[in-house]
Amino acid sequence: MKIKTLGFIAVIVAVLSVAVPYTALGDIGRFWASYLYWTFLTCITIIIGYLHLREWGDKR
């Protein structure tokens, strides 16, 4: 994954992490709403991070 792709992901995640809870989930008083959404978004980031880090290794 290139650095530009990661930067692009960061911008998308920034928008999604605020826009979705404040427009679609904020009024729902359930764990599956904002709470699970933010937890899920964090899990997705960890998976993306893992997939990227897996490619790291000394090429010399």
Partner 1 sequence: MNPLYIAIALSIWFLVGVVIAYKAREYLGKGMPEFFLANRKLSGFISGMTYSATTFSAFMMVGLVGLTYSTGVGAVGFEMIYIIFTILFLIIFAPRFWVAGKKYDIITPPELMAKRYNSKWVGVVSSIICLTMLVPYASVQMMGVGFLIEGMTAVSLPAFEVFGVTVSTLYLIGVLLVAGFSGISAFWAGMRSVSWTDAFQAIIMLIASITLVIFVFYSFFGGPAGFVTEITTEHSDLLELNWDLSMFIGLTLPWAFFALTNPQVSQRMFVSDSVKSVKQMILYFSVFALVYTVITTLLGFSIAGIGFEIADPDTAMPVLLGNVPVVLALIVFVSIFAAATSTLSSVTLTLSSLGSRDLVKKVKPSISERTEVLSGKVIIILILLSCIVFANLRLDMIAVLSSMASGGLLVMAPTIVGSFFWKGSTTEGALSSMVIGGIVTAFLYLAGAAHYPLGWWPSFWGLLLTTAIFVGVSSFTERPEGTEEFLNEVEESVKEHGMI
Where along the sequence are the contacts to partner 1 (CB under 8 A)?
2-3, 6-7, 9-10, 13-14, 17-18, 21-22, 25-31, 33-35, 38-39, 41-43, 45-46, 49-50, 52-53, 55-60
State the minimum distance, in angstroms, from the CB of residue 19 to partner 1: 11
State the minimum distance, in angstroms, from the CB of residue 58 to partner 1: 5
| Residue 21 near residue 34, CB atoms below 8 Å | yes
CA dihedral 25, 38, 4, 51 (to 10 degrees): -130
